[in-house]
């Protein structure tokens, strides 16, 4: 491992790419400290802490949003929306490519069509930034988190214009940073920015554990003891290993290439494999399920409050209160519904992204086939059956990883921003991006005959033959 790290800095091109990527991420973190105009940062931070401690809907929304914004939303900085508007726009166009014929034709055109789709994605990102920025600023104003100088009149208009412009420019700038990393750095730029925002919360989580640690656990203020710390560390290592396994796990389908005779020579006939990912949907099912599960308790809690204010103490108020209480994070109905939604979105996303008919047609056009199966509909049916079975297993692993932070936060009485590193969306994103980055660096090292992270070389760099040899 140490030898591979040293080899990175021996290659000028790779070294420059790594430093460029680190520089872009540093610029992203600098923007974390630039606040929006007119927002009372002290009052907002206090409201965020209170909401998180009381497990209100606002607190859960901030905790979920902080995963993708690095906590800058609850501080209301120019990077408050993070890179999520661009990711949301990209997901929207990925879904539309499966149902809109015009987008399907553009996708088939190759690089030119993909460039056009990317352009539309950027325009959609700006629109999403405008809508989300307006909603966030309106919430700040109605909650009394705006400075008195911007309470009304022309100053209120300045607050909205400056706030929306700042949030939109921040997200667009992050989108540009990601594209620059793709071009001049190493790794997927947007994913690296998202990962940097997630990892920025790790020192805060470690600090909370350190502040609330007591080896004897004898004091009244001690919240976690030596056994608890050991459990957190062991759970982190175990869940991270499981996330790596589920990310790289594959079901290999044997493929046989047809033999071709040209003159007296026979070509083809090689045997290879068609890899099908066990977790084909990636982290998307957890993102969809987690984001949707925020709203039931918030909505029913609002209905229960309205019913009590109206003096309605009948079955309607009791029903709303029951739903609001049982859809809190950690409640049994909440966990069951979240698991069901993860399974649903796993199959939904796999159905959208994986086309057994197209794969069967491509195998047939390339002169390949699955042994024992006729090319065409029979092959497509087999691929669909295999994908349904491995998706069931992959969704089960996702469900386990998703509910671990909720269960740990509920049973051990620790904040969600600490338990979120034991599973869920953030951990899966960090693992997948980290694996992709290591694979890219490994490929660059091996291409130049240097030993990579997995070994297999002497680490001395390329050998040049002398003229005598």
Give the per-residue pLDDT at 105: 85
Rounded CA-CA distance 404/330 in Å is 10
Confidence check: pLDDT of 20 > 90: yes
Q: How far apart are CA 308 and CA 324, in angstroms?
A: 14
Least confident of 62-66, 125-129, 396-400, 437-441: 62-66
Which residues are within 8 A (CB) of 386 and not within 5 positions of it... i.e. 6 or more apart? 251, 253, 276
Domains of the chain, with CATH numbers? 1-200+433-469 (1.10.3370.10), 226-422 (1.10.3370.10)
Flag the least confident range among 139-143, 264-268, 316-320, 345-349.
264-268
Mean pLDDT on 11-31? 88
Distance CA 387, CA 380 (A): 11
Range with the poorest average pLDDT among 92-96, 213-217, 220-224: 220-224
Question: Which residues are within 8 A (CB) of 55 and not within 5 positions of it... i.e. 6 or more apart?
Answer: 328, 329
Q: What is the pLDDT of residues 385-435, one digit of tens each?
A: 999 999 999 999 888 888 888 888 777 778 777 887 877 778 888 888 888
For residue 457, name the pLDDT band (cuts at 50, 70, 90).
very low
Look at residue 464 and tell me whether its pLDDT is greater than 50: no
pLDDT at 55 over 60: no
Find where tokens 């003891």 sit: 225
Give me the percent of the chain exceeding a pLDDT of 70. 84
Say how far apart CA 19 and CA 9 lie, in whole Å: 10
Tokens of 445: 């090292």
Average confidence score pLDDT of the chain: 80
Residue 430 contacts by C-beta under 8 Å, 6 or more apart in sequence?
195, 198, 199
Least Cα distance to 57 among 256, 335, 296 occurs for 296
CA 346 to chain centre: 15
pLDDT cut 90: percent of the chain above it: 9
- Give the pLDDT confidence score for residue 123 in this predicted structure: 92
User: Residue 259 pLDDT more than 90?
Assistant: no
CA distance 63 to 56: 11
The number of beta carbons lying within 10 Å of the beta carbon of residue 4 is 19
Min mean pLDDT across 301-305, 398-402, 459-463 is at 459-463
The rounded distance, in Å, linking the Cα atoms of 339 and 432 is 21
pLDDT tens string 307-359: 776 666 677 777 777 877 777 777 788 888 889 999 998 998 888 888 888 88
**Are 445 and 13 contacting, i.e. CB atoms less than 8 angstroms apart?**
no
Query: Three-state SS string across the chain, please?
Result: CHHHHHHHCCCHHHHHHHHHHHHHHHHHHHHHHCECCCECHHHHHHHHHHHHHHCCHHHHHHHHHHHHHCCCCCCCECCCCCCHHHHHHHHHHHHHCCCCHHHHHHHHCCHHHHHHHHHHHHHHHHHHHHHHHHHHHHHHHHCCCECHHHCCCHHHHHHHHHHHHHHHHHHHHHHHHHHHHHHHCCCCHHHHHHHHHHHCCHHHHHHHHHHCECCCCCCCCCCECHHHHHHHHHHHHHHHHHHHHHHHCEEEEEEEECEEEECCEEEECCEEEEEEECCCCCCHHHHHHHHHCCHHHHHHHHHHHHHHHCCCCCHHHHHHHHHHHHCCCCCHHHHHHHHHHHHHHHHHHHHHHCCHHHHHHHHHHCCEECCCCCCCHHHHHHHHHHHHHHHHHHHHHHHHHHHHHHHHHHHHCCCHHHHHHHCHHHHHHHHHHHHHHHHHHHHHHHHCCCCECCECCCCCCCCCCCCCC
Q: pLDDT per residue over 436-451, tens digit each?
A: 888 888 888 888 776 6
Q: Which two tokens stand for residue 149?
A: 């100088």
Backbone φ and ψ of 455, nearest 5°: 80, -160
Q: Which long-range contacts (CB under 8 A, 24 or more apart) does 351-354 make?
A: 352/94, 352/95, 352/98, 353/94, 353/98, 353/280, 353/281, 354/280, 354/387
For residue range 70-119, what is the model confidence (pLDDT) as tens digits?
Answer: 555 566 778 888 888 888 888 888 888 878 888 888 887 878 888 888 89
CA 318 to the chain's CA centroid: 37
Nearest to 182 by CA among 314, 104, 86: 86
Statement: residue 273 has pLDDT above 70? yes
- Could you tell me if residue 224 is left (phi over 0), alpha (psi between -120 and 50 degrees) or otherwise beta? beta
- Partnered with residue 267 across adjacent β-strands are 260
Which are the contacts of 155, defined by CB distance < 8 A and separation ≥ 6? 38, 149
Q: 365 and 317 in contact (C-beta within 8 Å)?
A: no
List all residues 6 or more positions away from 446 whose beta carbon is below 8 Å from its beta carbon.
452, 456, 457
Which one is predicted more confidently, 286 or 45? 286
For residues 304 and 362, the model is more confident at 362
Query: What's the pTM value of the predicted model, to 2 decimals?
Result: 0.78
What do you get for the CA distance between the two ends of the chain, in Å? 33
């Amino acid at each position: 491992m140490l030898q591979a790290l040293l080899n990175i800095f021996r290659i000028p091109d790779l070294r420059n790419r790594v430093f460029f990527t680190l520089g872009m991420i540093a610029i992203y973190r600098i923007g974390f400290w630039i606040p929006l105009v007119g927002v009372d940062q002290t009052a907002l931070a206090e409201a965020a802490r209170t909401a998180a401690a009381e497990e209100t809907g606002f607190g859960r929304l901030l905790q979920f949003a902080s995963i993708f914004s690095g906590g800058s939303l609850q501080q209301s900085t120019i990077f408050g929306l993070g890179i999520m508007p661009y990711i949301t726009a990209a997901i929207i166009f990925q879904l539309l490519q499966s149902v809109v014929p015009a987008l399907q034709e553009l996708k088939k055109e190759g690089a030119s069509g993909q460039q056009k789709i990317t352009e539309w994605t950027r325009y959609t990102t700006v629109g999403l930034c405008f809508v989300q920025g307006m909603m966030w600023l309106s919430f700040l104003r109605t909650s009394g988190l705006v400075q008195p100088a911007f309470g009304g009149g022309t100053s209120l208009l300045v607050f909205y214009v400056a706030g929306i412009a700042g949030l939109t420019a921040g997200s667009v700038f992050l989108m540009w940073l990601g594209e620059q990393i793709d071009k001049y750095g190493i790794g997927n730029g947007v994913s690296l920015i998202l990962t940097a925002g997630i990892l920025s919360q790790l020192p805060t989580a470690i600090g909370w554990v350190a502040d609330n640690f007591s080896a004897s656990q004898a004091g009244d203020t001690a919240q976690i003891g030596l056994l608890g710390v050991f459990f957190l560390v062991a759970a982190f290592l175990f869940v991270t290993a499981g996330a790596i396994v589920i990310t790289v796990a594959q079901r290999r389908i044997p493929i046989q290439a047809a033999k071709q005779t040209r003159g007296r020579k026979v070509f083809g006939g090689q045997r290879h494999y068609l890899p099908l990912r066990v977790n084909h949907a990636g982290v998307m099912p957890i993102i969809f399920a987690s984001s949707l599960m925020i709203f039931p308790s918030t909505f029913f809690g609002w209905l229960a409050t309205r019913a009590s204010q109206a003096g309605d103490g009948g079955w309607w108020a009791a029903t709303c209160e029951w739903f609001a209480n049982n859809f809190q994070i950690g409640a049994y109905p909440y966990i069951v519904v979240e698991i069901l939604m993860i399974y649903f979105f796993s199959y939904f996303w796999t159905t959208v992204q994986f086309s057994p008919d197209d794969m069967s047609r491509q195998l047939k056009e390339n002169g390949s086939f699955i042994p024992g199966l006729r090319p065409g509909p029979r092959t497509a049916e087999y691929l669909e059956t295999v994908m349904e079975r491995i998706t069931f297993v992959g969704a089960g692993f996702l469900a386990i990883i998703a509910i671990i932070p909720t269960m740990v936060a509920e049973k051990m009485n620790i904040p969600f921003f600490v338990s979120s590193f034991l599973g869920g969306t953030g951990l899966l994103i960090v693992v997948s991006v980290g694996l992709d980055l290591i694979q890219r660096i490994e490929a660059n090292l091996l291409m130049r005959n240097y030993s990579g992270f997995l070994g297999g070389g002497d680490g001395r760099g390329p050998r040049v033959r002398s003229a005598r040899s």
